[in-house]
Amino acid sequence: MTNPNVITLIAPLSGPLVPLERVPDPVFAQKMVGDGISIDPLDQCLRAPCDGQIVQLHSAGHAVTVATSQGIEVLMHIGLDTVNLKGQGFSSTVKMGDVVKTGDPLIEFDADYVATHAKSLLTQIVITNSDRVAAFAPRSGNVAAGKSAILELTLTGAAQANTDADAGKTVTSEAILIPNPTGLHARPAAVLANLAKKFKADVRLQKGDQVANAKSVVSIMGLEIGNGDKVTLIAKGDDADAAVETLTPLLWEGLGDEGCKPAPAPASFEPSPGNAPAPRARSEDPNLLIGVAASPGLAVGEVFQIRHQEIQVNESAAGTPQQERDRLDRAVDQGRAQLEALQASLHGQRAADKAAIFAAHQELLDDPDLLDIAHSALAKGKSAEFAWHRAFSTHADRLASLRNELLAARANDLRDVGRRVLTLLTGVEPERQTPPTNAILVAEELSPSDTASLDRSRVRGFCTTLGGATSHVAILARSLDIPAVAGIEPRALELANGTPVVLDGGKGIVRLNPSPEEITRIRETQERMAARRKAELEVAHEPAITLDGHRMEVVGNIGGLAEAEQIAGLGGEGVGLLRSEFVFLERSSAPSEDEQFEIYKAIVEALGPDRPLIIRTLDVGGDKPLVYLPIPKEENPFLGERGLRIGLDRPEILRLQLRAILRAAAYGKVRVMFPMVGLLSELRDAKAMLEEERQRLNAAPIETGIMVEIPAAAIMAAQFAREVDFFSIGTNDLTQYTLAMDRGHPKLAPKVDGLNPSILRLIAWTVKAAHDEGKWVGVCGGIASDPQAVPLLIGLGVDELSVSLPTIPSIKAQIRTLWLHECQELAQRALALETAAEVRMATSASAP
């Protein structure tokens, strides 16, 4: 007769058994999820280890729980860190609620894929309510799926009831945003359940209208809580207060999950070490401060320190929660109206790009999460000011801690909008400081609102200790033509008002105490440069032909419509690179085919019928994440899923984009280009998709090229050249991959130089291979805009330079001063040199 208090689990997979303690994951090894055993699988179908019912099935398909008739929950977790695979490689054959028999198939998986994409294939079988088990008797050795016993469980007897839970008060936490990159998957769920179990109170976790027992891993996982999801803790019982107080900050911090950006304590602007900015260069010269170039130009003037006044707020409400909510709603409405007025006036000044920044601010005001956090604080008796301050500063701090510089830069926008509404709520206007004429502003951070309203008759330039070249402030500074340096050394904040300085926005430096002679020299240089820019712009529409008659195409790199509209005026002969990932960067959902088509069509039309447009398909991953296209966390994102690899892996995204491009091609000269191509098979697969979509749409064929930015593509250029219409060399990535140096690494930055002879050799090789096949080659990486590189690229035989927009007139002017044969001799000399520094010396020495 079988003993109902003993359960024998049968192997769900074939393979050697591994003690749970040996699993290389502390949460399983330390039995935080529960006690059990692990199998190193030799087959690819996970089977039921006992009779029971499916009570949890993760949407990523890598984990399933079967509950026995005695209520024992057996969780099976295939592989380690497999939640990151987001379902790829798994296919479940059961659904929630199904009744299963021992040996029934539950999940089929592609062992090769999982083994190569996850940390390990080891599959854990654990009892998540191990407190119901008095003794575990694991087996060892090799087991056969559906046949061999793996674990014998002796049950404790009666189910445990939480007697204290029914009594006592109910305490609810504030809304908590989950910072864990992959949400509350098995590991953080186990940590939370273990922590919750330390309290007698009944603890529940609520997401939307679903509620889970926070002491049950299975129940928590059943909520499928993702990154950024909003949850609330509800505790009932004598120690409910303590449970909510203890667990809330731990949830905000990510429950110790790796890769989690802890959300700093709300309502605090103190930077935590976790979100400290990347280390920046420091100068040893007391008269030199180093930052990053944010907006080019030289400015001479005197320091004027700008400080943001912190508006003090009372924590507790004077009125009822409803009254406070009404006050907040009114202030938000007023803020919205102010932003609308600001946009209208900027549109009136034909400054659509600046208006767009404030349109984005208006959208921030409508963010439901922001308002939810504020509302949940109001419900707890906080004042409207306090609740709003907490909501926007929490969100802003979280954004600021992201590694993605573009998203981190949005933190400043959020604080700007936040302060606008806070001013309206408190009636406290920040004191306006009037700078002297010739002012160089120094601040920790300037908001976009501050920047847009700078008095150009007084302010010559500015520098901030925070922020980067991609912030809206930097964008505004460039469009206002104000020289600016971001990320300057913090000692800038200690400079006395009136200190004479020279700010070089192009080099990203500030020089202190220049001599009167230096100031005169700079002013003269400025006048000369302004005159030169004017002259270059006047002839910018003329072609760029060397003194001996060799024509170079000079086109621009753009990120959207606003820049496309500037191309013709600057003398650009087309677009050599539309970074399509930038067009939709700030969207939270994927653009539809029609939306993409409309924007590409608008860009084509802005360029006119004669200027070609090269649209590069989405190049996300690495340093360019897209909010609506989450990519599993990877050890080496630059070497992982990025560029075309993502498009091939998720063909529906690539196909949709290709259709939009093919449709837009009917309106002008459109070419398509694939990023991050390393293998011929990748190119062939992408081209096959393009052709299938073209036939489906009955569209005309379209010129097709690739970015040459992976060394393999350059080395195999002869093979690739037969299958493309053109190459565009992405020297930013080609340099990073050839030198194996991260292009954004603060310490390595000076060495990541595209003029390194190794890169020049790859360019020479690529050009020769393309020309042998009658194909043309462009360069769209940063060196195409570098005057020292231009003669070399011409000499190496490059046909087209795709440069940053402001440099189009000057690069064209430079080409008109060069002799092709001299460029060719210089290129040959450079190829024989040993270092980038030597190449730079050689090219400077040969400058006319």
Contacts to Mg ion by CB under 5 A: 709, 730, 733
- Which residues 6+ apart lie within 8 Å of 341 measured at CB? none
For ligand PEP, the binding residues in 175-194 under the rule CB under 6 A are: none
Q: Quote the least distance from Cβ 609 to ligand PEP, whole Å.
A: 26
Q: Quote the least distance from Cβ 726 to ligand PEP, whole Å.
A: 14
- Helices 836-845 and 757-772 meet at what angle, rounded to 10? 70
Burial tier of 172 (Cβ tally within 10 Å: 0-12, 13-18, 19+): middle
Per partner kind, with CB cut-offs from 5 to 8 A, the member of Mg ion, ligand PEP, none near residue 291 is none
Which residue in the set 15, 89, 781, 795 belongs to the binding site for ligand PEP (CB under 6 A)? 781
* Residue 800 lies near ligand PEP (rule: CB under 6 A): no
Number of CB atoms found within 10 A of residue 532's CB: 13
Q: Determine the Cα–Cα distance for residues 598 and 600; give it in Å rounded to an integer.
A: 6
Q: Quote the least distance from Cβ 557 to Mg ion, whole Å.
A: 11
CB nearer to Mg ion: pick between 604 and 729: 729
CB nearer to Mg ion: pick between 189 and 710: 710
* Residue 500 lies near ligand PEP (rule: CB under 6 A): no
CB nearer to ligand PEP: pick between 45 and 706: 706
* Structure-derived torsion over alpha carbons of residues 657, 661, 662, 666, reported in degrees to the nearest 10: 150
Q: Quote the least distance from Cβ 682 to Mg ion, whole Å.
A: 15
Q: Quote the least distance from Cβ 734 to ligand PEP, whole Å.
A: 7
* Structure-derived torsion over alpha carbons of residues 739, 712, 767, 621, reported in degrees to the nearest 10: -70
Per partner kind, with CB cut-offs from 5 to 8 A, the member of ligand PEP, Mg ion, none near residue 356 is none
Q: Which of 117, 361, 395, 472 is catalytic?
A: 472
Closest chain position to ligand PEP (CB) = 730
* Residue 803 lies near ligand PEP (rule: CB under 6 A): no
CB nearer to ligand PEP: pick between 262 and 621: 621
Which residue in the set 58, 185, 207, 579 belongs to the binding site for ligand PEP (CB under 6 A)? 579
CB nearer to ligand PEP: pick between 397 and 619: 619
Per partner kind, with CB cut-offs from 5 to 8 A, the member of ligand PEP, Mg ion, none near residue 775 is none
Per partner kind, with CB cut-offs from 5 to 8 A, the member of ligand PEP, Mg ion, none near residue 781 is ligand PEP
Q: What is the DSSP string of 259-301?
A: T--PPPPTT--PPPGGGPPPP----SSTTEEE-EEEE--EEEE
- The residue assigned the tokens 């963010």 is 367
The rounded radius of gyration (Å) of the Cα atoms in the chain is 31
CB nearer to ligand PEP: pick between 10 and 779: 779
The candidate with the shortest Cα–Cα distance to 269, out of 431, 421, 400, 417, is 400
Q: Quote the least distance from Cβ 461 to ligand PEP, whole Å.
A: 27
Q: Determine the Cα–Cα distance for residues 609 and 665; give it in Å rounded to an integer.
A: 11
* Residue 117 lies near ligand PEP (rule: CB under 6 A): no
Q: Quote the least distance from Cβ 629 to ligand PEP, whole Å.
A: 16
Q: Determine the Cα–Cα distance for residues 251 and 236; give it in Å rounded to an integer.
A: 18
- DSSP letter for 76, please: E
Q: Quote the least distance from Cβ 625 to ligand PEP, whole Å.
A: 13
Helix (H) or strand (E) holding 809: helix 808-815
Q: Quote the least distance from Cβ 738 to ligand PEP, whole Å.
A: 12
CB nearer to ligand PEP: pick between 781 and 791: 781
Per partner kind, with CB cut-offs from 5 to 8 A, the member of ligand PEP, Mg ion, none near residue 579 is ligand PEP
Amino acid identity at 644 = L
Which residue in the set 100, 780, 794, 830 belongs to the binding site for ligand PEP (CB under 6 A)? 780
Q: 463 catalytic, yes or no? A: no
- What b/e readout covers 714-727, taking b as 16+ CB neighbours within 10 angstroms? bebbeebbeebbbb
- Which residues 6+ apart lie within 8 Å of 319 measured at CB? 327
Q: Quote the least distance from Cβ 674 to ligand PEP, whole Å.
A: 12
Per partner kind, with CB cut-offs from 5 to 8 A, the member of Mg ion, ligand PEP, none near residue 275 is none
Q: What is the DSSP string of 650-691?
A: SHHHHHHHHHHHHHHGGGS-EEEEESS--SHHHHHHHHHHHH
CB nearer to ligand PEP: pick between 435 and 781: 781
Q: Determine the Cα–Cα distance for residues 803 and 800; give it in Å rounded to an integer.
A: 10
Per partner kind, with CB cut-offs from 5 to 8 A, the member of ligand PEP, Mg ion, none near residue 731 is ligand PEP
CB nearer to ligand PEP: pick between 425 and 780: 780
Taking CB under 6 A as the binding criterion, the range among 8-16, 42-50, 444-452, 726-734 that sits at the site for ligand PEP is 726-734
Q: Determine the Cα–Cα distance for residues 321 and 817; give it in Å rounded to an integer.
A: 71
Which residue in the set 257, 733, 786, 800 belongs to the binding site for ligand PEP (CB under 6 A)? 733
Judge whether 123 and 46 are in contact, CB under 8 Å.
yes
Instruction: Please give the angle made by the CA atoms of 648, 649 and 654, to the nearest 5 degrees.
Output: 50
Per partner kind, with CB cut-offs from 5 to 8 A, the member of Mg ion, ligand PEP, none near residue 257 is none
Please state whether 660 falls in left (phi above 0), alpha (psi between -120 and 50) or beta: alpha
Which residue in the set 438, 732, 788, 824 belongs to the binding site for ligand PEP (CB under 6 A)? 732
- Helices 352-365 and 561-570 meet at what angle, rounded to 10? 170
Q: Which of 45, 260, 463, 780 is catalytic?
A: 780
CB nearer to ligand PEP: pick between 566 and 732: 732
Per partner kind, with CB cut-offs from 5 to 8 A, the member of ligand PEP, Mg ion, none near residue 499 is none
Q: What is the DSSP string of 503-562?
A: EETTTTEEEES--HHHHHHHHHHHHHHHHHHHHHHHTTTS-EE-TTS-EEEEEEEESSHH
Euclidean distance between the first and the last CA atom of the chain, given in angstroms as a whole number:
99
For ligand PEP, the binding residues in 600-659 under the rule CB under 6 A are: 619
Q: Determine the Cα–Cα distance for residues 792 and 826; give it in Å rounded to an integer.
A: 7
The candidate with the shortest Cα–Cα distance to 712, out of 731, 732, 737, 693, is 737
Taking CB under 6 A as the binding criterion, the range among 105-113, 127-135, 647-655, 725-733 that sits at the site for ligand PEP is 725-733
* Residue 14 lies near ligand PEP (rule: CB under 6 A): no
Per partner kind, with CB cut-offs from 5 to 8 A, the member of Mg ion, ligand PEP, none near residue 325 is none
What are the CA-CA distances from residue 273 to residues 193, 400, 730 (Å)?
28, 12, 35
Taking CB under 6 A as the binding criterion, the range among 45-53, 360-368, 437-445, 731-739 that sits at the site for ligand PEP is 731-739
Q: Quote the least distance from Cβ 618 to ligand PEP, whole Å.
A: 11
Phi, psi (deg, nearest 5) at residue 417: -65, -40
Q: Quote the least distance from Cβ 608 to ligand PEP, whole Å.
A: 24
Which residue in the set 73, 450, 709, 799 belongs to the binding site for ligand PEP (CB under 6 A)? 709
Q: 347 catalytic, yes or no? A: no
Taking CB under 6 A as the binding criterion, the range among 508-516, 727-735, 761-769, 809-817 that sits at the site for ligand PEP is 727-735
Q: What is the DSSP string of 730-775?
A: -HHHHHHHHHT--TT-TTTGGG--TTSHHHHHHHHHHHHHHHHTT-
Judge whether 111 and 79 are in contact, CB under 8 Å.
no
Q: Which residues share a beta bridge with 801?
A: 554, 779
CB nearer to Mg ion: pick between 289 and 672: 672
Applying CB under 6 A, the site for ligand PEP has a residue count of: 10
Which residue in the set 146, 730, 795, 809 belongs to the binding site for ligand PEP (CB under 6 A)? 730
Judge whether 721 and 773 are in contact, CB under 8 Å.
yes
Interface with ligand PEP (CB under 6 A): 577, 579, 619, 709, 730-733, 780-781
Which residues are identified as catalytic?
472, 780
